[in-house]
Structure 1
Amino acid sequence: MYILFILSLFALLYPVLSCISSTEINCTCKHTAQDIGECSSNDTCIGFVCYVFTRRYLHSISTQWGCLKEDDIAEASHISNDSLCPRKFPFEYSPNLLDECCCTDYCNTNLKPEFTTTATPPLTTTTGKPIEKSTILAFSISIPLFLISIIVLLLILLSLFFRSGYANSRLFRSIGSTRIRRTESYCLCSGSLEGDTLSSGSGSGLPFLQPRTVAKEIQLLELVGQGRFGRVHRGIWRGDSVAVKIFSTVDEDSWTRETGIYNTVLLRHDNILTCLGSDMISNDGVTELWLVTHYHPFGSLYDYLNKSTVQLEMNIFSQLAISAINGLVHLHWDISGTHNKPAIAHRDLKSKNLLVKNGCTICIADFGMAVRDQNKEDLDEAAKNIKQGTSRYLAPEILGETIDTTSFDSYRRVDIYCFGLILWELMQKLKSPDEHVDDYQIPYHTEAPSDPTFEDMREIVFVQKKRPHSSKRLLNSTALASILQIMQECWYQDPGARLTSLRIKSTLTSTLAFVPNNVYSD
């Protein structure tokens, strides 16, 4: 400490040392450093130079008065400014030390140097010791490097996250671009129905529903449907309607499978129901599995066709039929590229699993039995539950137990059979010139009981090879002959003879383009 004090003092006082008195003088002496001079009881000392030394340390300032003896002056005569104030540490000494000296008796009594500028005190640790400059430099380099490394790592993880397809896991898709408005009118070709999709109204869609938080933010309202694997409620989420499909834990496999299907990369399509998220909650001690999707107030195609007020013009029939086959084509065929979508077979296609959207289009829903191509687990599960499904819509090869359960293509052909039955349901509601339409009937309503068993349908479809009957007014229309032919080619007894979904789309689109709106006109 003594050496540091001497160096600091004489670096600043060196130019005035020429005033050193040849005889000893009396000086005011007040200080705490025991090594620098000795003060007498009356606060004086005798030396050759009187001085005042002011030091600033952190937020405190201390001042010492004293005198320098002959030995102190000799030691200071070898000091240079460069050694006192190293260029690498310009704030180490000089900003925090001030000194003045004089060479007459008691000349330092009224001297008290003051700091004219605010200097930055040296950084210290919690123990009060100054932090080494090398430590500060190390921190100034290592901390930015650490932060940059973290950012780069996060970017890499996000890239892998989105490329792997897990970005859609439970956290599904945003909600669309226009707001739902509930209306009492039915789907009309005039477009009088306003808005049927969902949105926040901002133009960018609602925020994502986060997994494990969906249920907390949704208010359940009325029951809108019930099926084999669960019930469906309308819910409100931040002012917008959503559909909430609720499974019990008994049907957890179906919930898991449907969630997995919706999680498939590139599944999103206008004619596939959009899923928003999934959740698992406890309701009064009962575990419930939720699947949250877009809400379509018209309900299923089955519900829509059952309304006595629904009479389909040919253009509306076309929109419903073509949108349904568009969705099926998207499911049935794989997509290769940066992201790959496997081919998917629905396995439970029926009018109750098709939802009617605004604009009289269809979206396919309910993927609890779906199977993905080249997915052994899916194929094994389908083979174990081959008789599962709605008996009325089971294909002949399932009823006759002749289906090749190891072939994914077998399940696509089952979907085609079901699509033929859906076409038949749609054609019943085609309006004639006298405004007459047939009452809606489910397939095989005249051949099978209201709740047929597997054996009932096996006898009708596989053994007797019967198919639903079409009314005379449909059979007598030459304009509908091509559509009836497509329908019949969908439900051939031999699965290999049935049309593919892509062929149906092509033929149906070209056929309907030339069918007049009034299919019964002369």
Structure 2
Amino acid sequence: MMSILWNILVFLAIILSVFGNPISQNGSQEFTCVCDPPDCGPANNDKFCRTPGKCFVHKQKVNGDYLIVRNCFGSVEHSNLNCYSNVESSSFKCCQGHYCNKELTVDPMPATVVENDDMSFVLKLVIGGSAVFLACVVFFLLVIFVRHFWYKHRAESLLANAEARLLEDDCMYKGGQDGLKQDQWSTGSGSGQPILVRRTVGKQVTLFEKIGKGRFGEVWRGKWLDEDVAVKTFSSIDETSWNHETEIYNTGMLRHENILGYYASDTVGILSCTQNWLIVHYHHNGSLYDYLQRSDIDMEEMLTLAHSAAAGLAHLHNEIKEGTGKHEKPAIAHRDIKSKNILVKDNGQCCLGDLGHAVRNDKMDTDVDLTKLRVGTKRYMAPEVLTESLNPAYFESFKSADVYSFGLVLWEIARRARPFAEEYRVPYWDVVPADPGFEDMIRVVAEEQQRPPIPNKWSKEPLMCEMTKIICECWAQNPRSRLTILRVKKNLFNMLKLITGDRAEKTEKLCPKIVDTSSGSSSGNSSGNFSARS
């Protein structure tokens, strides 16, 4: 009877060793055991051996004499099999721990100890078997849950695709006339624009990641014809804004290296939702706002960014005519100039984007509500826009407001230029909240006539001195005192040419003395007040 019980215990020990040695609590820890030659090997200097299992002491009879042998098992499985099968032997003992077999003897053990060990071994077998059983149950339940979730997700995906096809077929049945107009894109010649059926574009664009969120929707990076593109999405309730920006981008002769390149527009059905897409060039550097936050810039980079941005705005403001007097391109005011709406290209130049608020000077763009003067971003609004004193019947008023906003952008660029680079800040960061209201901006810009601080140390560098003069003439309080963007562009171009010339001879030519107005406000200063700091 005892023999049968013992065989059952040995069998269970083998099963436990196969399922990962549940009795051992040491996992993959290795122990150093005392080892008697010649079975230790030269790697252990013939004195020690290492094992993840157990050490042992064995009494052998050789030529009539008893020999004590100390060694270790090569694996946990061998340890379990040999130690449990010899648990009653007085000539073989196992132990677990560093050097545990050094002082281990092989004297006969009392019967009570063997019984206690047997009981402990049985208890461990029961616990180990229960753990294995519980693990199997948990694994089985997990498999059922995963299969259920996968089938549910697959069913929802198939249903979504079916609904999308039904919606698409419904649009095809209706002729695709509601919002599925034909669109135009530039050939690069600057004049005629071939027609591209909008319906074909959305199917060819794959969206990958959301890179921004605006007032009307989201901006995604996507692929179209193996080229990276930016996709600006509008919800169906903002279709008017999408139509307006699409019309602006389709203005004849608008194409320019410093205006964000436009590909096409499309109306896309996603389940029961309709989205309007505007597909434009994608620029890895992101916006000027992001670019200036990442690192400071040198003087040449400063002037390249500033001049190229001015060139883009000058092209918008410029009116292009044919010899007959017909408008090839009307003057366009941007109305939301800020560093977040200016992108930085790989060549270090800027291009203007986000023309959703733009207005054209062709019968004053009848699809734009010009009675709403407070358009754009409050932080960048000109004084006359904040106070709603701008004259919408005079188109130059819109262009002048753009120049004010551009002056703030120039200040952002100049602030990051070495050797006077400071931490990036948005305009008026020190006097208005992070999300200012109209009352905050009216108080600071219109009533107190404050402007972002100009460090006094800029006056020590000729180019920075000239940049200061341009900035102050852009953000002048009186709109009629501001420079035109064309003049700003020419001044910046002249500075860019001088950057590689003799710096010494341009000091007096470029830099008259700057008056420090940081001590207080002066309503007579047409350029607006700015503070000077060391």
Larger Rg: 1
Partner of 1:466 in structure 2?
Answer: 450
Contact map agreement 1:325 1:504 (CA 8 A) in 2: yes
User: 1:450 & 1:500 partners in 2: Cα distance?
Assistant: 30
Partner of 2:357 in structure 1?
Answer: 369
Q: How does 1:372-451 map to 2 (within 5 A)?
A: 372-378=360-366, 381-432=368-419, 437-451=421-435
Partner of 2:344 in structure 1?
Answer: 356
User: 1:244 & 1:217 partners in 2: Cα distance?
Assistant: 12
Match of 2:185 among 147, 169, 172: 172
User: 1:334 & 1:414 partners in 2: Cα distance?
Assistant: 17
> Does 1:270 find its partner at 2:257?
yes
Match of 2:494 among 488, 510, 514: 510
| Equivalent residue letter for 2:340 | K
> Does 1:325 find its partner at 2:302?
no
User: 1:519 & 1:473 partners in 2: Cα distance?
Assistant: 17
User: 1:466 & 1:222 partners in 2: Cα distance?
Assistant: 40
Contact map agreement 2:258 2:309 (CA 8 A) in 1: yes
Kindly state the Cα deviation for residue 238 of structure 1 after the two structures are TM-superposed. 2.4
| Equivalent residue letter for 1:372 | R
May I ask how many residue pairs the two structures share in their alignment? Answer: 319
Match of 2:232 among 241, 245, 250: 245
Kindly state the Cα deviation for residue 400 of structure 1 after the two structures are TM-superposed. 1.6
Query: CA deviation digits over 1:148-169, x for unaligned, max 9?
Result: xxxxxxxxxxxxxxxxxxxx96
Partner of 2:320 in structure 1?
Answer: 335
Kindly state the Cα deviation for residue 500 of structure 1 after the two structures are TM-superposed. 0.5
User: 2:217 & 2:287 partners in 1: Cα distance?
Assistant: 15
Query: CA deviation digits over 1:51-98, x for unaligned, max 9?
Result: xxxxxxxxxxxxxxxxxxxxxxxxxxxxxxxxxxxxxxxxxxxxxxxx
Q: 1:323 to 1:305 in 2, by over 3 A?
A: same
| Equivalent residue letter for 1:514 | L
Q: How does 1:94-493 map to 2 (within 5 A)?
A: 170-173=183-186, 210-307=197-294, 310-337=295-322, 340-378=328-366, 381-432=368-419, 437-493=421-477
Contact map agreement 1:273 1:294 (CA 8 A) in 2: yes
User: 2:410 & 2:281 partners in 1: Cα distance?
Assistant: 25
Kindly state the Cα deviation for residue 511 of structure 1 after the two structures are TM-superposed. 2.8
Secondary structure of 1:510's counterpart equals helix
Contact map agreement 1:321 1:423 (CA 8 A) in 2: yes
Q: 1:456 to 1:213 in 2, by over 3 A?
A: same
Contact map agreement 2:463 2:495 (CA 8 A) in 1: no
Secondary structure of 2:473's counterpart equals helix
User: 2:483 & 2:182 partners in 1: Cα distance?
Assistant: 34
Q: CA RMSD in A?
A: 2.5
Q: 1:509 to 1:175 in 2, by over 3 A?
A: closer
User: Percent same amino acid at aligned positions?
Assistant: 42
Secondary structure of 1:486's counterpart equals helix
Contact map agreement 2:201 2:266 (CA 8 A) in 1: yes
Partner of 1:88 in structure 2?
Answer: none
Kindly state the Cα deviation for residue 377 of structure 1 after the two structures are TM-superposed. 3.8
Contact map agreement 2:303 2:495 (CA 8 A) in 1: no
Secondary structure of 2:368's counterpart equals helix
User: 1:208 & 1:264 partners in 2: Cα distance?
Assistant: 14
Contact map agreement 1:351 1:422 (CA 8 A) in 2: yes
Secondary structure of 2:434's counterpart equals coil
User: 1:485 & 1:498 partners in 2: Cα distance?
Assistant: 11
| Equivalent residue letter for 1:294 | H
Q: 1:290 to 1:469 in 2, by over 3 A?
A: same
Kindly state the Cα deviation for residue 414 of structure 1 after the two structures are TM-superposed. 0.6
Partner of 1:9 in structure 2?
Answer: none
Kindly state the Cα deviation for residue 175 of structure 1 after the two structures are TM-superposed. 8.8
Secondary structure of 1:407's counterpart equals coil
Kindly state the Cα deviation for residue 311 of structure 1 after the two structures are TM-superposed. 2.2
Contact map agreement 1:212 1:278 (CA 8 A) in 2: no
User: 2:306 & 2:297 partners in 1: Cα distance?
Assistant: 11
User: 1:169 & 1:507 partners in 2: Cα distance?
Assistant: 42
Kindly state the Cα deviation for residue 482 of structure 1 after the two structures are TM-superposed. 1.2
Contact map agreement 1:210 1:277 (CA 8 A) in 2: no
| Equivalent residue letter for 2:354 | D
Query: CA deviation digits over 1:400-452, x for unaligned, max 9?
Result: 221101111110001100110010000111011xxx62111000000111000
TM-score (norm 2): 0.57
Contact map agreement 1:230 1:248 (CA 8 A) in 2: yes
Query: CA deviation digits over 1:140-198, x for unaligned, max 9?
Result: xxxxxxxxxxxxxxxxxxxxxxxxxxxx962313599xxxxxxxxxxxxxxxxxxxxxx
Greater helix proportion: 2
User: 1:253 & 1:514 partners in 2: Cα distance?
Assistant: 46
Kindly state the Cα deviation for residue 493 of structure 1 after the two structures are TM-superposed. 0.6
Contact map agreement 1:255 1:368 (CA 8 A) in 2: yes
User: 2:422 & 2:436 partners in 1: Cα distance?
Assistant: 23
Contact map agreement 1:233 1:245 (CA 8 A) in 2: yes
Kindly state the Cα deviation for residue 506 of structure 1 after the two structures are TM-superposed. 1.5
Kindly state the Cα deviation for residue 244 of structure 1 after the two structures are TM-superposed. 0.4
Contact map agreement 2:407 2:472 (CA 8 A) in 1: yes
User: 1:502 & 1:403 partners in 2: Cα distance?
Assistant: 21
Contact map agreement 1:244 1:291 (CA 8 A) in 2: yes
Contact map agreement 2:241 2:356 (CA 8 A) in 1: yes
| Equivalent residue letter for 1:170 | D
Contact map agreement 1:279 1:291 (CA 8 A) in 2: yes
User: 1:263 & 1:519 partners in 2: Cα distance?
Assistant: 44
Q: How does 1:32-71 map to 2 (within 5 A)?
A: none
Contact map agreement 2:219 2:231 (CA 8 A) in 1: yes
Kindly state the Cα deviation for residue 297 of structure 1 after the two structures are TM-superposed. 0.9
